[in-house]
Amino acid sequence: MTAFKTRLRLYLVTDAFLCTTPDLVTTVRLAVANGVTMVQLREKTATTAQRVQMALALKEILIGTGVPLLVNDDVAAAVAADVDGAHIGQGDISPAQARGLLGPGKILGLSCETAQAVQAADPALVDYLGLGPVFGTATKADHAQPIGLDGLAQLVALSPLPNVAIGGLKSIHVSDVRESGADGMAVVSAICGQADPAASARAFSALQAEETF
């Protein structure tokens, strides 16, 4: 379990719209080489076929890195590309359905915005929880009401599973997220869309090392 928690430390959620220069694949390659520990392909407007192709491209560059690759929402794409797992939200298919499609050997993450959702999460089905959104973010227009850092700490205290803070997080929040007790933090625009994603990832990693994530 401890080894898995370390994979949540710096969790990159992709946004191809932001990743233009450099492109998505280059951004992920540079970010992983400089400290990102898990990658989630989240492309809301893509088709399943397009997500499969993007997942296969990312899977290729992650060979040998030990960094897991998950697909957001689209479990069918995760299965077709044979990546490490999937991440679902409260409005997607149920964890039981997702686990049935993925099989027992894959990673399944679940987003939780409320105490009730956290307490209902089944450790027999789900491997980790995404807790938030901590702050509002333009990368997910339909996000739930932000819970803030105090709300994050409350959900972490209730979580029966490893967990990662999500929603509007930047490098200035590394210390606050660590103090909340979360095992890691998920970022989008703080790395995707940055002119130098390698430097951005290194900055996060250095700050997290100081906070003993």
Residues with active-site annotation = 42, 111, 140
Phi-psi map region of 187: left, alpha, beta (phi>0 left; psi -120 to 50 alpha)? beta
Strands, E assignment, 9-138: 10-13, 38-41, 69-72, 85-88, 107-112, 128-131
Element of type H or E holding 184: strand 184-187
Element of type H or E holding 178: helix 174-180
Distances (CA, A) of 90 to 82, 101, 113, 119, 150: 23, 17, 9, 13, 21
d(CA 123, CA 32) in angstroms, rounded, equals 28
CB 27, CB 19: distance < 8 Å:
yes
Strands, E assignment, 57-146: 69-72, 85-88, 107-112, 128-131
Is residue 157 classed exposed, middle or buried when 0-12, 13-18 and 19+ CB atoms within 10 A define those classes?
A: exposed
Between helices 24-33 and 48-62, what is the axis angle to 10°?
A: 30
